[in-house]
Structure 1
Amino acid sequence: MQIPFKKTLFSLFFITLCLNASAQYADVVKQEGRKVYFDVSAMSRFPQEGDFFEVILPGVEITNPKTGKVLGREEGERVAGKVVKTKDLYAIGFLDKNIDVAGSCAEFTSKAARAKTPLFLDGEFPEQNSLKPLWQSSPMEASPRFAAACDFDGDGQNEIALSFKEGNSVKVFSLGDKRELKEEARYNVAAIKNILALDCGDLQNSGAAVLFVTVFNPADESFNVIPLSLEDGGLKAGKVFEGLVQGIAPYNRPRVLYTQKIVKIGSKYYLSKPAKLEFKNKKYESGQELNVRGLNAIFGFNMADLTNDGILTPVYITANGKIRAGFDEPKDFSLNESGRDFAFSPNTFNFSGVKQNLYTPLAVFTSGEKQNLFIAALQNDKSAKNANLYFLKWLGANFAKYKVFTLPAPVYDMKQGDFGPFKDILILPLAFDKKGALAVYAADNI
């Protein structure tokens, strides 16, 4: 979700910086859709390909109602983007979304400045085939399965929601000053229902996110979603709606929630196409459908800018367990691995007499000096004793296995986002036999 921020006035000093095009700021002089051109002629350090920027839109003008004197403006929306080409006196960038920014001011950040927390220490790989978390919780009394990280209480910092098989419960935790998990609220799901997924988002733009709990009822083989809101120290359930919900997190873009329904016609079941989850007419419903050949499930997919032109391409796990990128034209790129590598999950349920496995989410991020694109994918060991975390590198025409690390326990879920003070991380709930832990890993500099 987008974290709400306090509105502040633009100072005259800040406006002067934009007008003078200092080393950190430049004006947008031309726009073609999401493609923007910057005047960098007066910058002391020219932006480089791969640098990031935020275009700062002007907010509401503040005036003294008695005198009519203009006091300044509120800070408006910030639209992120990435530099894709540089010339002698101008630079070209792509915006994360299509919005009119012509004539606005942009603030630049070098790609090196974005590398906040290295994922691997020097010499750690390949000498040690292990992965060290940035932070890991103390052992839990039960094994966590699914996770969702959002700002549930509207305080400007994300909490974490975890589901547990024990008690069929969902709990929300904050991270205290001593970096210990503190339980803020819990909700018990009916014992007969199986929790299949957690995700969250602020679709109502209220400043506080809603937690969506997808459940399966084996008694009537129905799939439903329970929306939970954090109110007065507890989780309050809203109106339950039919279907499933799972989100994706394209790198450096807001998280997007998708939904789909399971339709029974006669003795057969069919999946509706994945569609964006929207809040309209005071209820949650399906929005625009995602029509991609071979992609028919909201589980196990994400979006990636494979062509470095600002256009997102779905990346997903196929029915036989391969990673694939789907394009509009008739061509696919698959990871050259044996079948079922990414198909197995400890999350199983019996549907119409058939054992079903759900794919874990894929994470997408860029890393290293060249800002190469990577995908993180999970493969759980068939013995359910541990899991492998694959890092797959995009080579421009295919994926290649880059590194594989063994995690100490099975993993039901992997989310990408923020939690407490940790930004742009991989969030992994580790499900040991009787206990568990929550671990976070950096998604930079692998």
Structure 2
Amino acid sequence: MTAQAGPAGIDIGGSTAPLPKGARTVLITLCAVYVLNFLDRSLLGTLAKPIQESLQIDDAALGRLGGLYFALFYCLIAVPVGWLADRTNRVNVLVLACAIWSGATMACGFAANYPQLAIARMTVGFGEAGGVPPSYAIITDTIPPGRRGFAFGIYNLGPVIGAALGVAFGASIAAAFNWRWAFITIGAIGVVAAIIVRLLISEPPRGRYDANHDAAAKAPFWPTVRMFVTNPILMLMALGSGATQFITYGLGNFAALFLGREKGMSLGQIAIWYALVILIGMGLGMLASGRVIDRRASVSKSAYASVPAMSLAVAIPLYLGFVWAPSWPLALCFLTGVNFFNYFYLSSAVALVQEEVRPDQRVLASALLLLFMNFIGLGLGPTWVGWISSHFAAQGDAHSLQSALYTLTPFYLLAILLFAWLASLLRRRRSIAG
């Protein structure tokens, strides 16, 4: 493959291409917005116990709140928002989305009952649908090829830091005051952040690193959707990532409750130790996955699938150890490893989809990826864990949540099979092309 020239003669054919001026500011700012995105999203799981006690709801209702109700709005809005962002200013879409989800997060703190909290969480999902897809496309038009795996690894530290801060700040604020002030405080910070983003980031040229790209081209909606759902490579990546997220969201939305109920951790201990486990495990995993993917994918694109498959295989015994562990220190040791290996799929999925579609299709393609990933993972994972936990409890299981978490194990095997299938398709395409 011959190297391509980017702006100002930048050689973008290899992994050593220098970053253009301002790229680091863009990447750090977008990562900070993603931090707020996940911080708001993670509060519900972190504060599950006091919310359950305050509003008198069971695990099944909590699972629907953090899963199905949130994901329905998130997934349905993500696709039209992606189509709009492909045709308009992506930065403006991101700013508006940040303001909406942050305002809705504040509304969660004022909810007096379960229906009000459900409506507020749906609105959070509505806003967050406009956060990630535009950011993916902005990064792709800011960072040259060969550097994107690591760039998306940095960007995907947002969920890591956001989840850790959600645990640390959310639990600390709730312990010092109550769970409502955690939502109100963090939502207010997000509203201010939306203004700052508009001042720091400018819309990058579309397709700046893509040869022969017409910057005025506008991808049609339905043909782009049809292209995505009929492309086996894109669909296998979406389904494999969705199966993985079934595990990560099913676990993530109930981990704090599980550690408190089954392992005996206090809210103060969760604020410190569980937050550190998220930050260290997930953080190192995101950084390592970006580096590994950039290096391996430069040799063969099949690495976009084989690397997540291998990481999930390693995660299975660690996950079983976490659920089984008789004490919370041992459980957190296992969970650190789980968090490290569970998230190798994310940078792979984003980078592969961005490279497989045209520049004018990137935001919509990202939205479609998130539609499948989040409906399967975010929508069904927590809903399943909450429902099966309540079912086991009704059958007299004193450790119903522990039993429910064990039922996530088969989804590791499903995700591995889907990624292995994708890897074989990518290798076959390379052999045909070569």
Fold-level similarity (TM above 0.5): no
Which TM-score applies when normalising by structure 1? 0.25
Question: Counting helix residues as a fraction of each chain, which structure ranks higher?
Answer: 2
Query: Larger radius of gyration, structure 1 or 2?
Result: 1
Which TM-score applies when normalising by structure 2? 0.25
